[in-house]
Structure 1
Amino acid sequence: MHNLHKITLLATAFVVSVSLVEAFFLARKARRQGQAYPWHEMGLSLVDMIGRKLMVLLPLSLATPIFAFAWDHRTFTVEINSVLAVLLLFIGQEFCYYWYHRASHRIRFFWATHAVHHSPNELTLGTAYRLGWTGKITGTAVFFAPLVFLGVRPEVVLATLSLNLLYQFWLHTTWIPKLGWFEYVFNTPSAHRVHHASNVDYLDANYGGVLILFDRLFGTYVEEREDEPCRFGLVHPTTTHNPLVNQFEHWVSLGRDMMKSGSVVNAIGYLAMPPGWAPDGKGQTTEALRQQQAEERLVVSAR
C-alpha cells in the first residue's frame, strides 16, 4: 500500500510538471502572437485535482459498497498471474470504460460531473486531470463492478483504471499529429481531439480509453478532418474563473430543470436522458443539433 501511494504521488508530480511545462511553452507562443494565454484554465484544473485529493479523505465513495457487494457475490476468484490473464483484464476493463464513458455523455446525471472535464475551451495537458469533484458520489463504479463480480479483486480493478487514465494524459493536446496505423487500434491525440470538440459533427464520439476498437465496433468512431477544425469546450461554452461554478453549474442547472419539470416522469427524464433533452421534444440533444444542422445545410445548398 505504501508503494502504491508513492507511485501515485510520483505520477501526479510528473503529470502536473509536464502540463506546466506545456503551459509555459504555449503562453510564450501566445505572447509572440500578441495574445493572452488563459492561465485561469490551468488554475481550474489544479484546483480540481487538489479538491479530488482532499475528497479521498472523506468517506463519500459509492465504489466501496458497490465493489464489496460484487466481491461478496463473485462468480470466480481470478488471479492475475499470467500474460493471458493480464490481457483479458485489460480488454475487460477497456470494455467497461467504454460504456462508463459513453454513459457519462448520454445520461445527464453522469454528465453533470463529466462536463467539468469538457469545460476547458482550450485542449491542453492540464485538461487531463480536470475530472470533477462529484465522481465519487455518482456511483460510476457500477460500470466496473462486473469485473469484480467475475472475480477480479477491487484494488486490481482500480489500479487498472488508474493506468488507463494515466495513458490518456498525453491525449489531451493539439500539437501531436495523426499517427498512421496507430490510429486504427489505439486512442490517440487526434481521436481525442474529436472527443473534446463541440462541433456538431464531432459530438458524442471516440469514448475509448487506451483502445479505439470498441468505438469502431459500436459505431461511435469519428475521424478528425482537416476541413473541420476542432472547436473545444462545451456546446454552450463556460467562461467562468470561479472553481465552484465550474464544478457545480451543471448540477445546479439539472436541479433547476427537475424542479420546474411539472411531473415525476419529466424529472426522471431530465435525470436519465441525454444532455439537452426536454419533455416537449424541443431540446438540444446531439440528435436535435445534427438534424438542425442538416436542415440548415439543405437550405444553403438549395440557394
Structure 2
Amino acid sequence: MHTCAMTSPMTSGAPAAQGFDPGLILMAFAPIFVLTIAWEAWYWSKRDRSIYSWRDTLSNATLALMHQASDAFFLWLMIRTVYTWCYAHGLRAMPETWWSFALLLLLQDFLYYWFHRASHRVRWMWASHVAHHSSEGMNFSTAFRQSLTYPISGMWLFWIPLAFIGFSPDWVILAVGLNLAFQFCVHTRLRRRWPVIEKIVNTPSVHRVHHARNPQYIDRNYAGVLTVWDRMFGTFVPEQEAPQYGITRQVRTHNPLTLTFHEWRDMFADVWRERDLRYLWKPPEWRGPQAVPQGVASQVDPLSPNPTGPSSASGRAEQT
C-alpha cells in the first residue's frame, strides 16, 4: 500500500488510475462503520434488545476479518494481475475523468446485479453467499457477515469486462469497494419505506426484502446501488409483509467455520453421492434424477427470478 487518492489536471479531479491504493480509501470507512454499529446497538438496546444478538454480532465480525484476509491475499496474489493483463490487452484505456469514473460506477453496479443474482441461482456461488444470508438478525453488523471463499466462487470474474474495456485495475477495485460500502447503509431496520427513492436507489426497506425468507420475498431485490436493474429484469418486490430473516432451514450455529463451509461440504457430498457434476452449477434447490423420482426434479433456469420449488434461500443450501 502506498498513497491515498491523487488528482491531476488531466483527471479533472477524478481519482488517478495510477499512484493510489483503493484499499486505503476504503479503509477510511472502517471506523465509520464500527461507530455506526455501536450507535445502532445502543439505540436498539433502549427499544428492542432482540435486534442485536451479541453472539451473532461477534460471528459477523469474525467472518468479516476472515473475508478481508482472504480478499487481500487473493487480490495481491492473483486478481490484480489478471485485471492488469486484461487492461493491457483490452480495447483501449479510458480517459481519466469524472464522467468516465461515473460510467464505471454505473457499469459495475449493473454487473453487480448479475453477480448477486447468480450468487442465488448457481449453487457454486451460493456456497459462498449463503453465509451472508444465514443470520436471523438484520442490523448494520449483518453487512460484515461475508465469506472468505468469494475469491474461489468467482466474484472477481464479474469485473474482468471493466478492465478489458479500458478501466484501470485500481479504478475497478475502487468501484467495487464503493458499491459494497454503500450497501452497508441498507442493512438496518431503522427506516420503513421511501417509496419515491426506492424507485431508483437501494434502501433499507428494499434490502430487507432481499434478506427475508418469506416465500414472496425469496430471490428478489438483488440491487447493489440502483434498483432500476431489478425493475428492468423483473426481480423487484416492495416491502409489505414484515420480513422474517435468515434461510428457511436455518443453520443453528454461530461457528464461523461452519457458517463458511457447510454448503461447500453439502454440495460436494451431493456430487460424490450421485456422481453428478450438475450440482455445481444448478440452482441450490435442484435435485438430480438419482435423488428423486425421474420427472420430479426441478429443472430451473439458473437465473430465473421466480424458480419452481424451494428457493436458493431454502433447499439443501441450509442443511448442516
Structure having the larger proportion of residues in helix: 1
TM bin, normalised by shorter chain, reads 0.7 to 0.9
Amino acid at match of 1:277: W
Distance across 2 between alignment mates of 1:11 and 1:106: 31
Identity %: 32
1:231 aligns with 2:228: no
Out of 90, 98, 102, the position equivalent to 1:74 is: 90
Instruction: Give the conservation status (yes or no) of the 8 Å contact 1:66–1:142.
Output: no
Instruction: Give the conservation status (yes or no) of the 8 Å contact 2:52–2:137.
Output: no
- Cα deviation digits, residues 3-53 of structure 1 (max 9, x gap): 24443332112112211221233244345xxx6952111011100121123
Instruction: Give the CA deviation at 1:241.
Output: 1.8
- Cα deviation digits, residues 164-223 of structure 1 (max 9, x gap): 111111101112111131011111111101111111111111111110001100111111
Unaligned runs of 5+ in 1: 291-303
Instruction: Give the conservation status (yes or no) of the 8 Å contact 2:133–2:247.
Output: yes
Instruction: Give the conservation status (yes or no) of the 8 Å contact 1:62–1:138.
Output: no
Distance across 2 between alignment mates of 1:188 and 1:162: 18
Q: Mapping of 1:141-156 within 5 angstroms?
A: 141-156=156-171
- Report the CA distance shift for 1:62/1:27 in structure 2 as closer, same or farther (over 3 A): farther
Q: Could you say which residue in structure 2 is the equivalent of 1:293?
A: none
Q: Could you say which residue in structure 1 is the equivalent of 2:205?
A: 190
Q: Could you say which residue in structure 2 is the equivalent of 1:24?
A: 42
Instruction: Give the conservation status (yes or no) of the 8 Å contact 1:45–1:130.
Output: yes
- Cα deviation digits, residues 143-181 of structure 1 (max 9, x gap): 111111100011101101111111111101112111131
Distance across 1 between alignment mates of 2:250 and 2:57: 17
Q: Could you say which residue in structure 1 is the equivalent of 2:283?
A: 274
Q: Could you say which residue in structure 2 is the equivalent of 1:250?
A: 263
Query: What do you get for the CA RMSD once the two structures are aligned?
Result: 2.1
Q: TM-score, normalised by structure 2?
A: 0.81
1:172 aligns with 2:172: no
1:38 aligns with 2:53: yes
Q: Could you say which residue in structure 2 is the equivalent of 1:301?
A: none
SS in structure 1 opposite 2:208? helix
Amino acid at match of 2:27: L
Distance across 2 between alignment mates of 1:36 and 1:289: 27
Instruction: Give the conservation status (yes or no) of the 8 Å contact 2:119–2:126.
Output: yes
Instruction: Give the conservation status (yes or no) of the 8 Å contact 1:63–1:140.
Output: no
Amino acid at match of 1:15: F
Q: Mapping of 1:185-224 within 5 angstroms?
A: 185-224=200-239
SS in structure 2 opposite 1:120? coil
Distance across 2 between alignment mates of 1:276 and 1:62: 32
Instruction: Give the conservation status (yes or no) of the 8 Å contact 1:62–1:137.
Output: no
Instruction: Give the CA deviation at 1:65.
Output: 4.4
Instruction: Give the conservation status (yes or no) of the 8 Å contact 1:200–1:289.
Output: no
Distance across 1 between alignment mates of 2:128 and 2:236: 23
Distance across 1 between alignment mates of 2:74 and 2:157: 17
Instruction: Give the conservation status (yes or no) of the 8 Å contact 1:67–1:141.
Output: no
